[in-house]
Chains A and B, each alone.
Chain A
Amino acid sequence: MAKVLVVTSGKGGVGKTTSTAALGGALAQNGERVVVVDFDVGLRNLDLVMGAERRVVFDLINVVQGVAKLSQALIRDKRLENLWLLPASQTRDKDALTEEGVRRVIADLRTKFDWVICDSPAGIERGATMAMRYADEAVIVTNPEVSSVRDSDRIIGMLDSKTARAEKGEQVKKHVLVTRYDSGRASRGEMLSIDDVLDILAVPLLGIIPESQDVLKASNVGTPVTLNSANSAPSRAYFDAARRLNGESIPMTVPVERKGLMDRLLGRRAA
């Protein structure tokens, strides 16, 4: 039974695209058939983070409008044969996403994959509402910072009112994924703690992704962090999160960086 998952946040720059790629990679590495779909029409980036930017021919808008077939637009990952990408258009705008067209594409993807992961654009406009429209579950990516938490709260309200499920009186299952977490700063009271974020948002926690330079390194080379450095702290956190998405119960921990001696001597911190 396919699941449609939207990765959303309201605020930009919190790690939606990184998390889409990392979770998609982790699920595919566990043998599931996964497609990641970029809904950020006009500002696509999932192709770049996935390292497929030079292989885009057709895109989501072409498929929505019936110009191309789904099979022509899907790009298979070079490293994982059960991981696919449906890129966004770089030249069109979000108005090209029709509700009926998106419904058809999502329904089609459901028949071909175990997981359909929709990478939402920032904001609360059409691109974001279309990304969440047909979702069964939602990952709300949140940084432990006031503006991100406020925007997450707004998005949670939209998931509960503007999705197809909500309109049928059903629930979109929601998960909070805290990213760019610095446990040192949180313990010193300089950063909202996990408990603060969860108390305020009242949505169950999917995982805690520590702030780490491995995330930037992975996007530099166009590989999901879970493939690029599978044993790094953020990757271990993403693998745990992916297993929780599959219903496994795994104790919640904050993976820590394994620093080398030189890092310690030079006092290097995660970028």
Chain B
Amino acid sequence: MSLNLMRLLGRRTGSAPVARERLQILLAHERGMIGQPDLVGVLREEILAVVSRHVMLDPDKVMVKMDRGESVSTLEVDIELPNGFERRTRLPVNALA
């Protein structure tokens, strides 16, 4: 009944614009992924490698998450270090390269 009332008042409240917008955002992302390596997976490996040069850490405690929004996306990196973590004392030769 409220729907009919809104229609009488000339308001277009259909869900199609929402469907369209959701699809556009999703497909912009999915098209970019085709044929590409898994971006988050690559980032995770490389971040893990960089941090491991300096700190001993458990690879399972590295979380990399990507959240895609319409205009900006966020990359969230969460690395858990044990208290009193062991700092690597000797850096590999090319660590600063």
Q: Which residues of A contact B (CB under 8 A)?
A: 145-146, 149-150, 153-154, 157, 161, 186, 188-193, 196, 199-200
Contact = CB atoms under 8 A, between A and B. Distances in A.
B27 A153 contact: yes
A190 B15 contact: yes
B12 interface: yes
Nearest to B35: A161
B27 A200 contact: yes
B90 interface: no
Contacts of A193: 16
Nearest to A195: B20
B88 interface: no
Interface string B7-36: 100001111110110111011001100110
Interface of B: 7, 12-17, 19-20, 22-24, 26-27, 30-31, 34-35
A161 B36 CA distance: 13
Majority-rule SS of A interface residues: helix
A193 B20 CA distance: 9
Nearest to B11: A189
A130 B27 CA distance: 25
Nearest to A200: B23
Contact of A149 (B15, B17, B23, B34): B23
A153 B29 CA distance: 12
